[in-house]
């Protein structure tokens, strides 16, 4: 485990309600002795953090889709207004004496 790994994991675990210090995570990762409760806590925390990460990815993907849809609609609106402006200029130039 990298030096920042246990600290980051400890913060992520804390976000889902599991308080395990980074030093303890480091010792568990290096095959140190761990109680059954600690293994259950670590397993739960890993699953919960993965679920939260998946939810964040899903929200980010939906936001990206909304942005693309908005950009397409805005582009189509600008294109339509430009076409109308060009048609108006064409009509004005054709009817000018």
3-class secondary structure per residue, the chain: CCCHHHHHHHHHHHHCCCCCCHHHHHHHHCCCCCCHHHHHHHHHHHHHHHHHHHHHHHHHHHHHHHHHHHHHHHHHHHHHHHHHHHHHHHHHHHHCC
Domain map (residue ranges) of the chain:
4-95
Rounded to an integer, what distance in angstroms lies between the CA atom of residue 88 and that of residue 80? Answer: 12
pLDDT value at residue 4: 61
pLDDT at 55 over 70: yes
* Nearest residue to 43 via CA among 22, 16, 8, 5: 16
Residues 3-51 have pLDDT tens digits of: 568 899 899 999 999 999 999 999 988 888 989 999 999 999 999 999 9
């Amino acid at each position: 485990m990298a030096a920042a790994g246990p600290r980051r994991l400890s913060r992520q675990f804390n976000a889902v309600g599991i308080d395990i210090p980074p030093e303890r995570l480091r010792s568990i990762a290096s095959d140190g002795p761990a109680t059954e409760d600690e293994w259950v806590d670590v397993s739960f925390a890993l699953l919960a953090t993965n679920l939260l990460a998946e939810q964040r990815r899903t929200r980010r993907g939906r936001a990206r889709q909304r942005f693309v849809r908005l950009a397409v609609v805005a582009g189509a609106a600008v294109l339509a207004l430009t076409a109308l402006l060009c048609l108006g200029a064409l009509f004005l130039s054709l009817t000018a004496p």
